[in-house]
Structure 1
Amino acid sequence: MPRSKNARDTTRLTGKPLAETIEPASLDIGPEAEEWLSSPDLMEMGLPFAPEVVYDLNVFLLINPNFNSSCLFRADILFDSLGGLKTPEHEEEKNSFGSCRVEGGGFGAQSVEPVPARSVAGFSLTRTVVRRLIPRNPQLDRPLDQTCHFYEAGEDDVQRDTTSKRILFVLTPHLSSRDEIPFYHPLLRGLVFLYDFKSDDAKPPQGGHGTLSISFVPFPEPIQDRLDRTLAALLNTQVRLARNAHTSRRPDRGNHNPIKDNVLPKHRVQDTYSWLKLKYAPDLCPRWVEDTEPSKHVFEDLAIAAFFIELWRNMYGVAPVAERGGESDDAVFPGFVDVACGNGVLVYVLLLEGYHGWGFDARRRKTWGIFPDWVQEKLKEATYIPKPFYDAMAAAAGTESDIRELGIDTLTGMFPKDTFIISNHADELTVWTPLMAALSNPESPLPFLSIPCCSHSLSGARYRYPTPPREKRHGGRGKSTPKSEGPEPDEPEPNPQPQIGDLKALRAEQQASQADAEMYNSTYGCLTAKTMAIAEEIGYEVERTLMRIPSTRNMGVVGGRRRTAQEWRRSNKPGDSGLAQPPDTHNGGTTNEVLERIDEIVRRECSREGGVDTAAKAWIERTKGLLKGQGRGNQPRH
């Protein structure tokens, strides 16, 4: 059922049920055996939208059917006669690293023939698109293929000094009987949107007026109230969205945000989330023992797990256990550690899906007790003390007892080589994450994904980072370049213009700037920017991406993805025996250079709080307070 506020002129509606107002459609649509119907209530007149706006909007809705139905995730494009809309295979190729790409899985996007185009008197066929509607819950609804034919008709009337343009969209589901229609699709054999626009050449384009109407061909049965509501809502959505549309938008990019789905293809993450939710949520939610709402936290962690499964598929070529045919992942996956793992659900799911790793947190959670014993052994009650702070405390006379008094295992972040670091809403550890990853192995810093939450300085104190200077901001594509790969600071950019040199590239740059401006207006955005800046200063190639998780804190900062994937593939070619060989190079510089950069960063960031020694003592005191009080143990997220 479509969802939207009413954007129509209700004074023109009859107020009668659709069954009492239906009449034959004015369009002559073949074949003659089909009886196309319409209604005065399925018509909205006096619209100021140019035909291009309505055309772009319908292309946009082809990709984003979730604007019309909350039961739908998305639509996968299977065919476009103009080639503007990209298929899932194209999206995977864009994000893959050669042999690290894994085929199959999900709902598939095999070739599907479009439904033959109908003949429409006075109109010419201009475009054919085949899409697959993907439901949110595949156990309740099945995917449905649908063909959309685009038609145009134009007529000039010189005497009246007006120009008339008509565009037509015909949607036809691929089915042979009424019983094949899923719940989210109206009970129709065909649906038509017609936009008839007349403009006055002597006035600006906005001086024209258009009429948007719906026609449909039903099954041979009475018109139900649900169909009445659905068709009215579909028309209302078109009018509502058209009021906010811009002709400069690229409709083939969908609901486009330059930092969304820029690391992983949307269909992979959504499909994996769907089966993870079906597999784990029915078990975890009823057994939830925390005081917090189970569905929110379980679904959020399952969405994050879906991202990691597809990220590691992309980086290492490793699939979840169900796709391996009984093979172990030890030969192709280096392992993970979840710092500040909180309730442990993410670690639990990743372990059960065959990815070896572990997690730690300063406070044991009640949730840990619902997991199997072997999973609980992978969840450690320990606190993190950054290595620079630990070294400073060890060097200062009479401070070693402060660490012993914590009464809990301490970790300095020295993890096995090539371990993937997960920093999910880790608060005080967020900005430390790239530093931790590099200190663990300066020769080849560890890859990481940080999902920032609350903003803290290196000492652990709450702190809002200042907005970075414009010249130090990252582009909207979400990717930065390590120092050693970019131009020297004193060198001007050799070609500051868009590389493609067209309006498409210029528009992308403008969208990137807008995304950056919005990001840096908040404490959360500045924290994300600071985490990226520190990682880049160390030598990482950094990417930021809006993750598809049910949380407002949904920005992901990925470090070292491309380098790790490329080096991992190079070191582990098909046919190699034994365990996977780790990457052996790092673009950020030599070991000494990396350590010098880290030392410089830590000293600089701690200087505002009295230096490294003072910041180290503050970290220990806050850790004591965390362990003595309720601390993070009763906080909503972790």
Structure 2
Amino acid sequence: MAVETSQTNDAVKQTDTAGTKFTPTNLTASPPLIQRPNETWTTVLSSPCPFPPEIFHTIMQNLIKNPNITSSHLFRADIYYDSGATQPPSFDAGEQNDDKSFTRHLQPQYRPHSSGLNGVDGYEVTRTLVRELIPRNPLLDPPLLQTCHYLQKSDKHREWNTVLYVPHIDSGESMPFYHPAVAKVAFTHTWPLPSTPPKGKGEEEDSEPAGSISISYSLFKEDTQVSTKLERTALRLLQTLHKHGKGQLAGYEKRVHLDQVIPQKRYQDRYTKLKARFGRQLSEQWVEVTDPGKHVFEDLGIAAFLIELWGDMFDISEQGKDGEVGGATASGSKTEGKSPFPGFVDIGCGNGLLVHILLASGYKGWGFDARRRKTWSTLPATTQAALHQRLLVPEIFLPETSKDQENKPPLEPPQNEKEEEESQQQEKSWHTGLFTPGTFIISNHADELTAWTPLLAYLNQAPFLAIPCCSHDLSGARFRAPPTTKRARTQQKQHQNQSQQHQHQQNQNQNHSQNQDQNQAPPHLPQQHPPPPTTKTPSNPSPSPSPTTTKAPHGTHGPHVPQSPETGSLLRTTQQKSQPSAYATLCSYISSLTSELGYEAQREVLRIPSTRNVGVIGRERGCLGASGVGGGEGNREGIREGFREEEREERKRVILELVEREMGRSVEEVGGKWIERVQMLGRKPGCGH
């Protein structure tokens, strides 16, 4: 909702004076702001605020749709009904429940409950919503249906806007833990209206007082006073409202956008099922020294995302057991025109939990890592058979004498006792990175393998999910990843040069045209000649540069770079402050590698307990549907059948050229460094991940 300019400017002026700080005042002993004959209302807290009603409405709309902001026990809110701000309120506010009501199509439990304030004391309902609060742990707390009303009233001097929460519950004993045990909760915002009579010429302009926000409770009949717990809850709610309002007033813009690939509801519902099935068991049998809470629930979150992603990309109706995979299909994914699930491989699988969760959920696949983990021995035998200790050495790094078929490890996990025995003998051998074409590649905090993930996917004509963590180049060495590949930087530079040349040519043509116009202009009469321009000769023929600019270093070219003033230590310029972090550039670099190899790179900020939570999804352009979420013309079965050895050799050549271009060295030199590092890595003890 747009903010009115006049009121916003007035509010900005007040941010440095009145109402800037959060200063709550206890009003439990004062008369309540809301009074009803048959209801016990208490105004708990109030605080000055600098933001206008438009910002209050924006903040409250965000809190209604995202209740997890004020309660960590909640996942989200599902909106079942919204009258809209322009709908006639009389039939939308729960005042009528007959056949003429606009909500007659809803089931009775989803129909709005009356505010009890419409038309009382000048209040008018302007909007009504019905939401369901979804808890994180449904085994502890049930969901809660709730009606949210927007009410408004005004007089000559002030405007009151109230957002009222009405739980669909009749007693405090039935109220879930995450909601205050009251019949209603009211958020009230007051704001001064502009003075109509203008001030006289000699009169001083009095500063308008700031607005205010307050929290009020309507208690259940069995309650007589507000408890200490309810006061603490009101303080948290009011503080959150004040903080978010000040942020919006200061121009806050959301930088991280979640749920761009998989809708929030689908992901969280899937995560809740996986958590109920695996969470407690995996946490109790944790044998690593690291925190089980982080690793277990992180892998559960990644598994939930993958299951929903695969439901969009593949036909998984024939997969799985215990109804788990079928449930993914039923969550909103159609199967027409999709190929069967091709299986997965988790490169750098670490503790193996992600592989175990996916296998137990009915998805075939396997994983390998340079080092065994103690966790592997605690997992079921079927999972242990799918976990292998391997050192990945891409085939382009291997000498020709090592590329014969006898020395290669199998592309798939062993299928019989003989293959299992051979696999055990090769347990600490290498893997070439060549899988069954089309196999979905997972790279979860795989460190040295992160940058190689798009390359391996291209070699195998496969989709992938990469979750970067630490930055390593294609030789396995630590480095600060650039935001783009060398080819992308070269193309960008060429484009900039062409743009500059085009602009320079336009300027020359414009100057030439102006000169021609001046030469063809009629002569001026003597009195029409303008006086010659006066020029001031500077006292110093070689002025020193401005203190805010510096000359380019000797031997370099380019525009002057602004430098911040020195105050004992150099302050960071605006340009320096906007520099992306090392993790942000690493994610951009992986996306650039993905795009250079012909993939449609998508990025999703995952809902996992980790600061390294960006997932880069790579799907070949032909495998994207109209919505960009998979399916469409890309047929995986066709890919697997038509992927000939000649095409794979051509892809190897492309990868070889890319490695040499990015590293600036021959592939033999890069491969030597890689093999040296992975051998050292294999000798280190395994960690918790």
TM-score, L = length of structure 1? 0.74
1:613 is aligned to 668
1:132 aligns with 2:169: no
1:431 corresponds to which letter in structure 2?
A: A
Q: Render the CA deviation track for 1:114-150: whole Å, top value 9, x for unaligned.
A: 2234313212221112211111111111111111111
**1:146-185 equivalence runs, <5 A:** 146-156=146-156, 164-185=158-179
> In the aligned structure 2, how far is the partner of 1:205 from the partner of 1:428?
65
- The farther-off stretch of 119-128 and 330-339 is 330-339
1:615 corresponds to which letter in structure 2?
A: V
1:340 corresponds to which letter in structure 2?
A: G
1:409 is aligned to 429
> Contact 2:660 / 2:666 at 8 angstroms: preserved in 1?
yes
> In the aligned structure 2, how far is the partner of 1:207 from the partner of 1:53?
18
Counterpart selection for 1:336 from 341, 344, 358: 344
Distance 1:381 1:283, change over 3 A: same
Distance 1:193 1:448, change over 3 A: same
> In the aligned structure 1, how far is the partner of 2:266 from the partner of 2:46?
38
> In the aligned structure 1, how far is the partner of 2:231 from the partner of 2:194?
35
Mark the structure with the bigger radius of gyration. Answer: 2
1:624 aligns with 2:626: no
2:123 corresponds to which letter in structure 1?
A: F
Query: What SS does the corresponding residue of 1:188 show, helix, strand or coil?
Result: coil
> In the aligned structure 2, how far is the partner of 1:539 from the partner of 1:325?
30
> In the aligned structure 2, how far is the partner of 1:328 from the partner of 1:70?
26
Distance 1:325 1:283, change over 3 A: closer
1:35 aligns with 2:40: yes
Query: What SS does the corresponding residue of 2:397 show, helix, strand or coil?
Result: helix
Q: RMSD across aligned C-alpha pairs, in angstroms? A: 4.0
Shift of 1:284: 1.2
Shift of 1:392: 6.7
2:395 corresponds to which letter in structure 1?
A: K
Query: What SS does the corresponding residue of 1:414 show, helix, strand or coil?
Result: coil
1:374 aligns with 2:382: yes
1:213 is aligned to 214
1:521 corresponds to which letter in structure 2?
A: P
1:244 aligns with 2:260: no
1:212 corresponds to which letter in structure 2?
A: I
2:473 is aligned to 457
- The farther-off stretch of 197-206 and 591-600 is 197-206
Counterpart selection for 2:655 from 598, 612, 623: 598
Counterpart selection for 2:259 from 254, 258, 261: 261
- The farther-off stretch of 383-392 and 452-461 is 383-392
Shift of 1:366: 1.0
1:235 is aligned to 238
Shift of 1:271: 2.0
1:9 is aligned to 23
- The farther-off stretch of 204-213 and 448-457 is 204-213
Distance 1:289 1:325, change over 3 A: closer
> Contact 1:153 / 1:167 at 8 angstroms: preserved in 2?
yes
Q: Render the CA deviation track for 1:149-193: whole Å, top value 9, x for unaligned.
A: 112223445xxxxxx322111110112333321001111111111
Query: What SS does the corresponding residue of 1:115 show, helix, strand or coil?
Result: coil
2:605 corresponds to which letter in structure 1?
A: L
Distance 1:463 1:248, change over 3 A: closer
1:50 aligns with 2:107: no
Q: Render the CA deviation track for 1:369-407: whole Å, top value 9, x for unaligned.
A: 011112111111111111221257859xxxx9xxxx998
Distance 1:9 1:531, change over 3 A: same
> Contact 2:485 / 2:662 at 8 angstroms: preserved in 1?
no
> Contact 1:435 / 1:598 at 8 angstroms: preserved in 2?
yes
> Contact 2:83 / 2:127 at 8 angstroms: preserved in 1?
yes
1:351 aligns with 2:367: no
Query: What SS does the corresponding residue of 1:542 show, helix, strand or coil?
Result: strand
1:54 corresponds to which letter in structure 2?
A: F
> Contact 2:377 / 2:384 at 8 angstroms: preserved in 1?
yes
For structure 2, the residue ranges without an aligned partner over 5 or more in a row are 1-19, 87-106, 200-204, 330-337, 409-424, 500-574
Higher relative CO (Cα under 8 Å, sequence separation at least 6) belongs to 1
1:309 aligns with 2:304: no
1:26 is aligned to 33
Shift of 1:439: 0.8
- The farther-off stretch of 590-599 and 309-318 is 590-599
1:611 corresponds to which letter in structure 2?
A: S
> Contact 1:571 / 1:583 at 8 angstroms: preserved in 2?
no
> Contact 2:345 / 2:442 at 8 angstroms: preserved in 1?
yes
1:341 corresponds to which letter in structure 2?
A: C
> Contact 1:423 / 1:429 at 8 angstroms: preserved in 2?
yes
> In the aligned structure 2, how far is the partner of 1:340 from the partner of 1:471?
28
TM-score, L = length of structure 2? 0.68
Distance 1:407 1:582, change over 3 A: closer
Query: What SS does the corresponding residue of 1:127 show, helix, strand or coil?
Result: strand
Give the share of equivalent positions with the same residue, in percent. 38
1:149 corresponds to which letter in structure 2?
A: H
1:507 is aligned to none
1:547 is aligned to 606
> In the aligned structure 2, how far is the partner of 1:327 from the partner of 1:263?
19
1:129 corresponds to which letter in structure 2?
A: L
> Contact 2:454 / 2:618 at 8 angstroms: preserved in 1?
yes
- The farther-off stretch of 314-323 and 216-225 is 314-323
> In the aligned structure 2, how far is the partner of 1:390 from the partner of 1:302?
36
> In the aligned structure 1, how far is the partner of 2:401 from the partner of 2:443?
25
Shift of 1:246: 3.5
Distance 1:566 1:489, change over 3 A: farther
Distance 1:526 1:168, change over 3 A: same
Q: How many residues align?
A: 526
For structure 1, the residue ranges without an aligned partner over 5 or more in a row are 1-5, 85-108, 158-163, 251-255, 474-482, 493-515, 574-578
Query: What SS does the corresponding residue of 2:672 show, helix, strand or coil?
Result: helix
Query: What SS does the corresponding residue of 2:40 show, helix, strand or coil?
Result: coil
